[in-house]
Amino acid sequence: MTGSNTAPPLPDYAPVPRSALGPALNAQGYFVGRVERNLFWVTDGTYQSAFLATRDGIVLFDAPPTIGHNLRRAVDEIAETEGVPNTVTHLVYSHHHADHGGAASLFGGDVVRIGHAETRRLLLRDNDPARPAPEVTFEDQHTLRAGGERVELAWHGPNHSPDNIYIHFPDHDTLMLIDVVNAGWVPIYNLNLSEDVPGYLDAPARALAYPWKHFLGGHLGRLGTRDDLTLHQRYIDDIVESAREALGSVDPTPWFQKYGENAWAAVAGYLDAVTAQAAAPVIAKYTGVLAAADVPAFTTSTTFTILQSMRLDLGAGSQVHP
């Protein structure tokens, strides 16, 4: 069991559709571009952040640690070309997760931090010096006014996380909703590691109910469009439909007969078989359409998560013993 020559071969995958990729990164490893007017976005190819360059300074939306100090460089670059102060005056947390807020502490003591009340509670719980808790909080809705700009923050219930908010820029034709839709790509494990499955499934329709043209989903290297959200909805709808069919057609009897008193072995064998049967046609249909649809862990774990939500949240397949 030693030596690298015992490692299993690494699998090959379908090429990433060119349409899933974004602009090239600069020598420091980031790209900063204009979304509309004075709203800018920053990416390192995997994570995204955004900021408004206002006459009074910079209003920052999320601070992913992978972009880290490149956020400062991107802000300085744009502040200079736009002729505005480079001081970060406000920082908005989309939700409490460290992979989107872990560079928040880079922006000094004077910044006004804004987030959902639950974001504050969770950040106080997590007690991470890299993510100071927001002092300005709200429950359902908050209008942020800064430097002559207006941003509408709203919480419409739990989805990816309990505290994930919708960030609408009505004067920039843009919506920011993190960790729900990855434009051009499938969600990663278990519906983007989401906590509330019905809330997650509902979120793209809520996002589409807002008027906007540009979408910031928080991940990968390009901005999203309304078409990206409807394609994501079709992928998810196909998984739901396929899961329903598999639940109705796979017979659990062989596993329970074989494993006898080891009930958990039977449950695992049966649920894995339902998941595999449900995921297979979706993987085939979306390979080459959504990047990484054929990375089996992603579509398969997402299918498993949806199946469990259908059983546990919706009661599918539950029968009361006679």
Total of residues contacting Zn ion (CB under 5 A)? 2
Phi, psi (deg, nearest 5) at residue 287 = -65, 125
CB of 201 to Zn ion, least distance (A): 16
CA gap 191, 301 in Å, rounded: 8
Is the Cβ of residue 137 or residue 190 nearer to Zn ion in the bound state?
190
Name the nearest CA neighbour of 75 among 97, 90, 93: 90
Residues 165-204 vs Zn ion: string with x where CB under 5 A? --------------x-------------------------
Q: Are 221 and 31 in contact (CB under 8 A)?
A: yes
Among 90, 96, 97, 131, binds Zn ion (CB under 5 A): 97
Stretch that binds Zn ion, among 79-87, 97-105, 258-266, 272-280 (CB under 5 A): 97-105
SS3 67: coil
Which among 159, 241, 230 has a CA at the least distance from the CA of 200? 159
Which CB, 97 or 232, lies closer to Zn ion?
97
The minimum distance between CB 265 and Zn ion, in angstroms, equals 33
Distance separating alpha carbons of residues 171 and 164, to the nearest angstrom:
22
Nearest of 135, 138, 194 to residue 162 by alpha carbon? 194
* Nearest residue (CB) to Zn ion, 100 versus 172: 100
Pair of tokens at residue 23? 């602009």
Round the CA-based radius of gyration of the chain to a whole number and report it.
Answer: 22
Question: Nearest approach, Cβ of 184 to Zn ion (angstroms)?
Answer: 19
Give CA–CA dist 322/319, Å, rounded.
Answer: 9
- Site membership for Zn ion, residue 62 (CB under 5 A): no
Q: Minimum distance between the CB of residue 82 and Zn ion, rounded to whole angstroms?
A: 30
Judged by CB, which is closer to Zn ion: 193, or 208? Answer: 193
Q: Among residues 97 and 113, whose Cβ is nearest to Zn ion?
A: 97
3-state secondary structure of 143: strand
Task: Pick between residue 42 and residue 177 the one whose CB is nearest to Zn ion.
Answer: 177
* Site residues (vs Zn ion, CB under 5 A): 97, 179
